[in-house]
Amino acid sequence: MNTTAEPGRYSVETPASDPGFYVVYCVMAPIYFTGLALNPLVLFLMLRQTRTKRTRMDRLLACVVGTTGSYALFQIVCQGLVLLVVNSPAYGSFAAAGSSILVAVITSANVMLAMERFLALKFPNLDTKESLIYYLFIVAVLSEIVVVLLWTYSTSNAVHDIQPASHVQYLVWMISMAVFFVVSVAASAFFYISTYIFISNRLHKASMEGQVASAHLEKLEKRVLLRCIVMSSSILICYLPRCIVQIFVNSETSYFSLATAIANIFAALDVIVTPGLMIYFLDYLRVDLAHIFLFRKIKIGESNSSSELNRNIAGEARGAEAVLYESNTQLESPTTDEGFYIIYGVIAPIYIIGLVFNAIALVVMFRTRDSTRLALHRTATIVIAITFLYAFFQIIGQGFVPLVYNSEAYGSFIGAGSSILVICLAASNVLLAIERLFAVKHPEISDSQARQYYGLLFFVVVVYSCVIVWVFVTSNTVDHIDPSTHVQYIVWVVTMASYLVFAVVFTVILYTWTYFAHVEKLALIRNYSPSLSPNDTQRIELSVLRRCIMVSTAILICYTPRLIVQIFVDSDVVYAARATSFANIFAALDVVITPALILFFPLNLRDELMDVICCGRRRGDLSELHVTRLRIDSMNRGLNSSSTRTMSTSFGSPVNSMQRNSGQRNTRTNGQTSSSMNRGVSDRFPLNSLNRVVNSPEIAVSPASEGEMSP
């Protein structure tokens, strides 16, 4: 389906004006949804096998499946759902660039797979570091293509959801993609043909010399090679029509739409064909699928002396790579692999949901005007940003990257990154408590003066982070979390425990101090205005503080079990693994709870969230009468509060009692609807803080903080 080419406008055409409408929604969309369900399932089953962590070929296969699943998700979300409602040529360029980059990544992964077979069979004695150079060369070429694509789409809009609109950028894009695709196909063909000829000659030689075991081993190697060739050929067949259409078919011809639709269908089929071939060729995937859908344990064949001999010979010759598809496989039951389902069935979905939720929360915070004007909103934005980084780090750093690159140095990097992000999360809560203290007890402190205290907190974070970096630089890790050396482990535990205890104690002290400052100020307000209702003042004054305390308490509750397990639970005890799993689940829940609390409390953020989810339609559908009512409600809230406090005019002078009485009469004449709506809103969340309630020398008056965590 093509979006309209008019600048600044992307919309869905009707079936009558868009011939590709039914192709997209009746053919391509179901294919991508099927691939989105199938690829994560296959990746899930591949990750649970210990062989995935042992052989490079299996890691590359998992990388291919993960990239294909990412391509299906990107097509559904970015090229399907979001592009239909986002009226921005810039987003159209982003979606087209992402689609082209993912196709380039899939092609590169297949070249790596072909080169892996070539190096493993023709150069079995090649050192790992030496072979890594060739893979890095492919990554470098891919990086150059990505840079060219980013430049192309950043300097030009996109038409037909894929190609740049400008002539120069279109030529650069077409030549780059065509050359990259042709070179990738030629390189894969060279690797596979050379490897096939080499293994065929060895098989013929072993058969002529009567070496039965060697001949059987070479047959297994040849079978694995043929299956890799079939998988790479399927990707070539799926993306070749799209390449041909983009290069040789003119967009002004009458059959361009039909040719594009057919090419897009072929490209979409890859998200089903690739995982389907994985399931067909990998025996253990079929066993696991049978276990999942039939709820019973299945064995492939029975072990005998001949198969055991062949497995031993293959293991000695090529490190078990040749028998990945032929060895007997038995699925472990949940009782013998308890932590597996917790990680991939509970923790991983939580982090993925948290990543999406925090991204939406960041969009909401940046769309809100208060996010750049109020210190509280800026602090809340920092908390959400750190939580987003933590979820992203857990998914990418500890999830996908180790599939293709896993070393002791990378494990140390993951351990250090996780610990530093936890330190930043605790520091963000201290920052939130400091901001509330300054806003309530010391409103006279300016932003420049407050930055000195924030700088001191940042210095403490840097010092602790340097200690963490030293610990993981001088020691390897256990499960990418704990240092393996005894001295570094003690330093790490003491550092993390002391910092978190310090952060918790300091946060409690700050919130307690702020609370008593509220109580003291409320006592002064009651003495200044005896007619003021204490219950009303508590609901208005303490609401923001209570909700900030809830956000900090949620983070404390989520990470306390993990700290307790790391300090007090010995890794040798029977229940250590189960305790660690539950602690990790609690820590993962924070990436969902924190943005939920921050978005739930302020009414303006909830409205902004609904605008984001509804893609701005709620805001665009507001009638003039509704807008007028919202303005009247805003005036009513200010006028109602004038009966309980002294308002400051633009010159800073108090408003007299006659103006307050007039304001009350105006409030009553605005109708029951707006007044009842005002009471409902004010009961849920205060509009104004009482930091500026009294313009009196006896009571400190905070600067304008209207809207802090409020509608």
Q: How far is the C-alpha of 609 from the C-alpha of 368, rounded, in Å? A: 10
Most confident of 50-64, 316-330, 537-551: 50-64
Report pLDDT for 94.
82
pLDDT tens digit sequence for 150-188: 888 888 887 766 778 888 888 888 888 888 888 898 999
Domains and CATH numbers, the chain: 21-199+229-303 (1.20.1070.10), 338-602 (1.20.1070.10), 618-684 (no CATH)
127 torsion bin: left (phi>0), alpha (psi -120 to 50), beta (else): beta
Most confident of 17-21, 87-91, 130-134, 285-289: 130-134
Q: How far is the C-alpha of 264 from the C-alpha of 378, rounded, in Å? A: 44
Q: How far is the C-alpha of 561 from the C-alpha of 558, rounded, in Å? A: 7
- Exposed/middle/buried for 680, CB within 10 Å: 0-12, 13-18, 19+? exposed
- Give the residue with greater pLDDT, 541 vs 206: 206
List strand residue ranges (DSSP E) for 431-499, in order: 477-478, 482-483
Q: Give phi and psi for 86, each to the nearest 5.
A: -85, 115
CB atoms within 10 A of CB 613: 12
Task: Inform me whether the pLDDT recorded for 371 exceeds 60.
Answer: no
Residue at 415: amino acid letter: G
Report pLDDT for 345.
67
CB atoms within 10 A of CB 190: 13
Mean pLDDT of 587-598: 82
DSSP string, 130-147: HHHHHHHHHHHHHHHHHH
12 torsion bin: left (phi>0), alpha (psi -120 to 50), beta (else): beta
Mean pLDDT of 377-402: 79
pTM attached to this predicted model: 0.43
Report pLDDT for 657.
37
pLDDT tens digit sequence for 453-497: 888 888 888 988 898 888 888 887 766 677 878 888 888 888 888
Under the banding of pLDDT at 50, 70 and 90, the label for residue 380 is confident
